[in-house]
Amino acid sequence: MERAPAKINLTIKVTGRRADGFHEIQSLVVFADCGDRLSGEIASDWRLDMTGPFASSLADEPDNLVTRAAILLGDYLGQELNAHLTLEKNLPVASGMGGGSADAAAALRLLTRLYDRPVEPHEMAALALCLGADVPVCLDPSPAFMWGKGELIKRLSALPSFWLLLVNPGVAVSTGDVFRVLDAQESVETEVSPPLPQWADLDAFVEWLAARGNDLEAPARSIAPVIGDVIAAIARTNGCKLARMSGSGATCFGLYADEKSAKDAQAVISAAHPDWWVAAAVRL
């Protein structure tokens, strides 16, 4: 079994639109201890079953990223990777938590293990990038700073511990639509990593995050105004140190110092908005 944890963009800065159509970004990413799960075994043919609360959202999607990952990896290894896999879809679809990207990364890890065909990390990253700009960072669910179009990654080992409250109002927001609304100028591509400070404690980390934002939030809110309501609801909970949208939305997060604060906030939001998806999870 491979976990596909939720990817949370604590910050996103869009520095411009690249010549290849992608956007140049800078983002600090963490993973939460909740998400999808992928399991399976080698078989004589290929089959992907869906379970979990959001399985029906992918039922009519023949081009699932897990299937694409299997085909891509098989082509690279020079063999057909037949297997019967089950994707337990626990995260809302098109929610700004990198669910599909994490599923694809989990498929690459699971299939190389099932077939005992290890792939060098830099080659695996190149394969992952073929599946999407967010897939490489999901290969290793540890905190990271990503830039370029997402393929340039620096893993972070000294982040303070904290808990997250994740809230999705049940509205799917297309990443492509958000970037189309975003008015980004053409940029010069760079491979230079922006400097990052050393955070002494959680308060210093939150202060650094608060001085930055998510450049995709405004265009996402123009598409789904309920995002503003979600952020406001999270910000009102006791112990919330920061409330913001993740990724391209519509999932938003609150950042808390401890488990009790996050789970108390989960109870408050769930009671007030029973139709919203709400989860409290520790940062991995």
CATH class for domain 2-152? alpha beta
Residues of the chain scoring pLDDT < 70:
59-62, 184-191
Residue of 36, 103, 134, 215 with catalytic role: 134
- The beta strands (E) that lie in the chain are given as 2-17, 23-42, 47-51, 83-88, 144-148, 152-155, 163-168, 242-245, 252-256, 277-282
Dist CA 173 CA 179 (whole Å):
11
Question: Of 159, 111, 137, 172, whose CA–CA distance to 282 is shortest?
Answer: 159
pLDDT confidence of residue 183: 74
Residues of the chain with CATH 3.30.70.890: 158-282
Residues of the chain with CATH 3.30.230.10: 2-152
Fold of the CATH domain 158-282:
Alpha-Beta Plaits (3.30.70)
pLDDT digits over 122-148, tens only?
Answer: 999 999 999 999 999 999 999 999 998
Dist CA 266 CA 166 (whole Å):
8
Q: Is 203 a catalytic residue?
A: no
Q: Is 20 a catalytic residue?
A: no
Residue of 7, 89, 149, 241 with catalytic role: 7
Cis omega before residue 250 (within 30°)?
Answer: yes
